[in-house]
Amino acid sequence: MYDFELIRVANDDGVLTALLDNPPVNLITRQLFRELRLFADEVAVDPEARVVVLRSADPDFFLAHFDVTLILGFPVEGEAQRATEISGFHRMCERFRTMPKPTICEIAGRVGGGGGELAASCDMRFGALGRTTLCQMEVPLGILPGGTGTQRLPALLGRGRAMEVVLGGDDIDAAMLERWGWLNRALAADDLTPFVDRLARRLAGFSSGAVALAKAAVLAASPDPTTGLLDEAYLFDQSLRLADTPDRMRRFLELGGQTRAGELRVGELGGEI
């Protein structure tokens, strides 16, 4: 159990911490996606895990977007088809959202694309002032946030702010993310990990049954997301077929996308495509 190359897992009195480590920018490669999916499936049913914390081994990057070179290889023959079951990435995000234990993201640096969507699917997100930055950078590449982003962001931010994040494809800093509700709290950088550790230990000390039932009750306040996720996947497939989308994704890579220097300015880079 928990035998991964890009995720290091430690259990401390019921607080299961997953340290994401896929240099240079924690890009969601095929391997990291597989490990995240397996990790979610395993931790969801692990009786020894009472709270799940996701954090990064790299202070500058929490979790970046899905590997654009893989997206360029997605099949686009024929017309887009509306699926009858949610995708593997959607299932992974739903697993983190619905597992019967709290899921907490400690986001010390940059997050965006699929990484932002996974974080938005977790129960809580905490960031560092002056360091944490969100960028849903898909629209500048000619696509859309297809990994739950169009469904999660309106609920977290409201429609207008979600539109700004999705359509603008620009950097949003920690202070704004806290004010808008994407971050639960934006703390001083030195206070981030101690705060998350204290909160996780506190939750792990409560009745796991009561925590699971309380989380289920909160989730019951939201409608079944399946229809929206299927719509998102169908529209994402349509975006892959737009005439200029492959050129935009290749231009992103040419400008430094998926390199450390490029990803540190990914919001600006999107405006240059």
Per-residue pLDDT tens digits for 89-129: 999 999 999 999 999 999 999 999 999 999 999 999 999 99
Measured CA to CA, the distance from residue 262 to residue 89 in angstroms comes to 25
- CA-to-CA distance for 44 and 76, rounded, in angstroms? 34
Q: What pLDDT score was predicted for residue 222? A: 87
154 preceded by a cis bond (ω within 30 of 0):
no
The 10s digit of each residue's pLDDT in 71-83 is 999 999 999 999 9
Q: Taking residues 7-13, what's their average pLDDT?
A: 97
Tell me what the mean pLDDT of segment 228-245 comes to: 97
Please give the pLDDT value at position 126: 99
Q: What is the mean pLDDT of residues 225-230?
A: 95
The mean predicted confidence, pLDDT, of the chain is 97
Check residue 110 and give its pLDDT: 98
Domains by residue range for the chain, with CATH: 7-272 (3.90.226.10)
pLDDT bracket for residue 1 (50, 70, 90) = confident
Query: What's residue 164's pLDDT?
Result: 98
162-215 residue pLDDT tens: 999 999 999 999 999 999 999 999 999 999 999 999 999 999 999 999 999 999
